[in-house]
Amino acid sequence: MTPELAPTTRPSVKAGRTPRKPQQDRGHERVAAILDACAKVLQRDGEAGLTMHRLAKESGTSIGSLYHFFPDKHSVLAALNQRHTDALCTITKRLEQIDDHVWKRLSTAQMVERLIVPFLEYIARHRDIQLLLSPTLGDRQLHSPALRAAVRSIYEKVLHMRLPDASAEDLRAYSAVLLSIPSGMFHSAPETNESLERIWLQEIPRALIGYLNALGD
């Protein structure tokens, strides 16, 4: 599912100084509001519309409070990237806890629904992550080799249980395809919200099911 996302410890986004960590609940709420505002601005206007004054206005935060937590917009992007990375890591950890026998008894469609669709649903719900994962963002792109490796590992594990005769090389190739099919969306032209939701939640799963069924032929 996921293209290359940032190392789980810190997203690879060019930033100045390190953001200040909030010490109280009110501070955490303020940071969450700033990150929510950043996501909304990215969805509406892209990175070009992202400024510190715009973030202050959108989040209902004074410019002084904004600079208290974030020295520049790159550090806000880094924090937003980290929030998405943490959420995707949580999905991966849940998948790792599923018993092996569950994966063996699922149909192909059920396996895609259980294994891959949770990632697709997250991306469909967060339009900003689709920009953050776009290669057009350059060195501010969300980029996590650790997360990608974890996702690929669980894909290979499940495929091995369902295709026990497949070689290690085969499993690496199959898992790469499962990652690459959704990744292609980040290189395509922008779509409307309605068409994007259909693509992520209907058409990509359909393509993945067809590919996996072909492996068993």
Dihedral, CA of residue 133, residue 138, residue 144 and residue 149, to nearest 10: 80
Length of the chain: 217
Supply the pLDDT for residue 19.
Answer: 61
What are the distances in angstroms from CA 41 to CA 36, 37, 51, 59, 95?
9, 6, 9, 10, 32
For residue 12, pLDDT over 60 is answered with: no
Task: Note the pLDDT tens digit of each residue in 31-89.
Answer: 999 999 999 999 999 888 999 999 999 999 999 999 999 999 999 999 999 999 999 99
Residue with tokens 């495929």: 159
What percentage of the chain has pLDDT greater than the value 90? 70
List pLDDT tens digits, range 79-137.
999 999 999 999 999 999 999 999 999 999 999 999 999 999 999 999 898 888 876 66
What six digits make up the tokens of 82?
């980290």
User: Has this prediction a pTM greater than 0.95?
Assistant: no
- Cα angle at 51 between 48 and 55, to 5 degrees? 120
Cα angle 126, 129, 132 (rounded to 5 degrees) comes to 160
Structural contact between residues 100 and 160, judged by C-beta atoms closer than 8 angstroms: no
User: Among all chains, which residue has been given the structure tokens 């949580």?
Assistant: 90
Q: Provide the 8-state DSSP code for 41.
A: H
In the chain, the domains with their CATH numbers are 1-10+82-217 (1.10.357.10), 20-70 (1.10.10.60)
